[in-house]
Amino acid sequence: MALLFVTLICGPAAAHFGILIPSDNMVMADDPRTITLNLSFSHPFEQAGMELKTPTKFFVQNAGSKHDLKSTLQPQTIMKKPAFSCDYAIKRPGIYQFVMEPVPYWEPAENCFIIHYTKTVVTAFGDDDGWDKEVGLKTEIVPLSKPFALYCGNLFQGIVKMNGKVVPFAKVEVEFYNKD
């Protein structure tokens, strides 16, 4: 199940999302140790792609360290539009939080610039401590339930924060990634 984190900068969203999907969100001992991350911008339910410009930032946070991955991005076509991918070798057990900060874009319907801060969490080799840690993004959803291994009917909960402070009653838009 793909989990999409959404924009909270400007009022109601226009149903497009920054998407960061790993080939495996639970890497086990018998799994390949290299995962592929696909970065795109789209209307996920309709499977309608949009152009993703080179992100401002793309990094992974693991074991208290942040590693810039922007130089590893490879151009791809996802949903018939320009996008990116990255192969990442998992080297040790733990939680890997991958983050994309795309270039802001102007949304005329909202009369503002929007940034889709996008985060996904991968657990490796059974060590899943730390999935609830903040990365420190300007706008972030801090999970209250494990954001990986969610199956149909499961519930994801999180706390919306902006500049490190809770945003009570924030409107969050979630859309099904209608790939299958």
Write out pLDDT tens, residues 37-54: 999 998 887 888 889 999
Q: What does the pLDDT average to over 3-32?
A: 72
For the domain made up of 17-166, give the CATH fold: Immunoglobulin-like (2.60.40)
- The two most distant CA atoms of the chain are separated, in Å, by 49
Q: What does the pLDDT average to over 121-134?
A: 94
Name the residue with tokens 């809770």: 166
Structural contact between residues 22 and 4, judged by C-beta atoms closer than 8 angstroms: no
Closest CA to 84 of 56, 43, 104: 56
d(CA 89, CA 112): 38
Domain limits, the chain: 17-166
Write out pLDDT tens, residues 87-103: 999 999 999 999 999 99
